A and B are shown apart, each in its own frame.
Chain A
Amino acid sequence: MRLILSSLLALTLLFAPGAFAAFASERIIIVTHSDNTGVRLSREQIRNLFMGASVGRDLQPVALPPGNRTRSLFNIKIVGLSDSRVQSYWAQMKFTGRRPPPQIVNSEKAMVQYLLDTPDSIGYLTADTDLPEDLIVIYATD
């Protein structure tokens, strides 16, 4: 039964207009320390910041590790690329020496702590995360 179900699921994914539709309903929030109140970034700027660009302030992007579900959501909704294509991008950047990938923390919990401890950093979480008072949301996806 499980086999049939997973085969069906695989087929659905294969023929779905967007194979990544399964993630569509969850929202991603972009979070930073309350010291950065007033920072306004467009989706495009957040995307580019996490792809290695400067946005005019020295904000350090912090990412979750490859394979993490929240990272996949971020890649789909903000970057607009699948996980493997983001991996390919970073392989190119890293092994050509152009730019290093963002700092990585191992879990959502570690992300919250890192953002609290490092006021000039910026990270992403799912919208249902309980945020401590000192963290603010500067962008949320639909």
Chain B
Amino acid sequence: MIKIPGVAAVVSALLLGAEACYAEKLTDNLEISGFARVIGGYLSHSSRRFDGYTNEVSLDEQSLLAVQPSYSFNDKLSVSSQFVAHTGDDRDSGLEWAYLSYQPSSAWHFRAGKLRTPFFIYSDGYDVGYSYPWVTAPVQVYNNYLFSNFNGASASYYHSGNSLALNLEAYYGYYEGDLFLAGSKVDVETEVEDLAGIVATISRNNLSLRMSYHQARNTTEIPNVSELRSQLYALGYNDSAKSLESSGNVYALQTSLSYDTLNSFYKAEWVNIVTGYEIAPEITGYYLMAGRVINDWTLHATYSRSEYSAVKMSNELPIPPTGNPQQDMLSTAYYQVFASTPNGNLDSYTLGTRWDFRMNMALKAEITLLEESRSRSGFFMSPANDSTENAYLYQVAWEWIF
């Protein structure tokens, strides 16, 4: 992993020389554009960490700088790539995507290469803070079971009739790399094969309905858990061993409704992710948001929630103490795995503002009350603790596109 120290400093340096320009055409064919965000945050909790934030002001969790070179061979064929330098520990810096793009007509668009995953509304544009009103898009939807890109191909079709417009996208590919669970990078390599999905958006005037379905075959090996599983199989505890399998199918379903007017906007998005294995539970996340636009200012309010289903652990292992220390160790290790798996709920209430002070820059401030209504939502680090946590997260951001 490349760690870029002080991206904020680089960004500030760039800002000093920044014109209010939008994309730089170096030649007729080559265009360089990009975006940057500097985000400061503070969490009002004395002992927990949330999305990297603690009770010390930090600029290094979500700040980033992205550069996007793009070369057109002609009207229809081009290559594009995006390099992102992240300050946060969870995301790797480097090439985020690179693909060949073919647009045979204004309705069709084909892409092949390394692409962003279009799971939910803001999944593929999660890094582009300028494109949404929040500082942090609702974590209950956007920070769960995520990986940001895949290798493969996608086809999209966008056509407008007299009163209805239809946008369809289908993709297929594979992914190898880090896996995210409840906002944190799980320290394992994961392999995702036969990743496929379809996204349909129907819109009429400024009302838009997006529905998508995604599926994949996932193989994740967590070294400690794999070892425990082998031991359980060897000793004949097949039910227990089977409940620790971490490979199988994953399905995600998403629905969202957006309504925009000149002065206000409303959005609701719901996602449900189900896995074919016991140890990673089903998760449901959603948010409801409303906003008002007053000239260059936007005010918005959001409620969001995530719910994990209960994990199904086997009860064939005797509960310690049994008088047999080896047996006790095995049982303890098994129950420990399940005791640290997230299966709680997180509610959050966000109030925020955005000021578009220049055509390509915005300042944002927001405050979020985070409340676990059932313990171990997974978002407050230190998941083995059974207390329900709550805290305020204060954030400010500067967003720039160029």
Q: Which residues of A contact B (CB under 8 A)?
A: 13-14, 18-20, 42, 44-45, 48-49, 52-56, 58-60, 65-67, 76, 80-85, 87-89, 91-92, 94-99
Contact = CB atoms under 8 A, between A and B. Distances in A.
Given A48-B160, A58-B105, A96-B124, A91 B35 contact: yes
A53 B160 contact: yes
Contacts of B158: 52-54, 99
Contacts of A59: 106
Interface in B123-168: 124-125, 127-128, 130-132, 156, 158-165, 167
B80 A56 contact: no
A82 B293 contact: yes
Contact of A95 (B68, B164, B293): B68
Interface of B: 22, 33, 35, 66, 68, 80, 82, 97, 99, 101, 105-107, 109, 111, 115-116, 118, 122, 124-125, 127-128, 130-132, 156, 158-165, 167, 203-206, 260-263, 265, 293-296, 298, 356, 359-360, 362, 401
B262 A45 contact: no
In the A-B complex, the 10 residue pairs with the smallest Cβ-Cβ separation, listed nearest first, are A54-B107, A48-B160, A92-B131, A84-B356, A54-B106, A53-B160, A96-B124, A66-B359, A95-B128, A91-B131
21 contacts: A19-B263, A20-B262, A44-B165, A45-B161, A52-B158, A53-B165, A54-B160, A56-B159, A66-B360, A80-B261, A81-B260, A81-B262, A85-B260, A85-B293, A87-B130, A87-B360, A88-B131, A91-B131, A92-B131, A92-B132, A96-B125
A108 B135 CA distance: 36
B401 A80 contact: no
A112 to B, nearest CB: 23
B22 A66 contact: yes
A91 B125 CA distance: 9
A44 B130 contact: no
A119 to B, nearest CB: 15
B142 to A, nearest CB: 14
Contacts of B156: 98
Given A44-B163, A96-B128, A18 B262 contact: yes
B160 A44 contact: yes
Contact of A44 (B101, B127, B205, B293): B205
Contacts of B68: 94-95
Contacts of A91: 35, 125, 128, 130-131, 401
A80 B205 contact: yes
A84 to B, nearest CB: 4
A58 B106 contact: yes
Given A95-B35, A96-B116, A97-B111, A45 B162 contact: yes
Nearest to B355: A84
Contacts, number: 128
A65 B159 CA distance: 25
A97 B111 CA distance: 9
Nearest to B66: A95
Nearest to B23: A94
A35 to B, nearest CB: 17
A96 B260 CA distance: 21
A95 B111 contact: no
A97 B204 contact: no
Nearest to B359: A66
B165 A97 contact: no
Contacts of B22: 65-66
A34 B82 CA distance: 41
A123 B380 CA distance: 51
Contact of B359 (A56, A67, A76): A67
Nearest to A97: B80
A81 B206 CA distance: 9
A59 B131 CA distance: 27
A63 B181 CA distance: 42
Nearest to B107: A54
A63 to B, nearest CB: 12
Nearest to A14: B294
A59 B159 CA distance: 13
B295 A19 contact: yes
A13 B125 CA distance: 32
Given A45-B162, A81-B262, A92-B125, 11 more contacts: A14-B294, A18-B262, A48-B165, A85-B265, A89-B131, A91-B125, A91-B128, A94-B68, A95-B66, A95-B128, A97-B80
Contacts of B118: 96
B295 A13 contact: yes
Nearest to A99: B109
Given A19-B295, A99-B109, A92 B128 contact: yes
Contact of B206 (A54, A67, A80, A87): A80
B116 A97 contact: yes
B67 to A, nearest CB: 11
Given A58-B106, A67-B359, A81-B260, A88 B163 contact: no
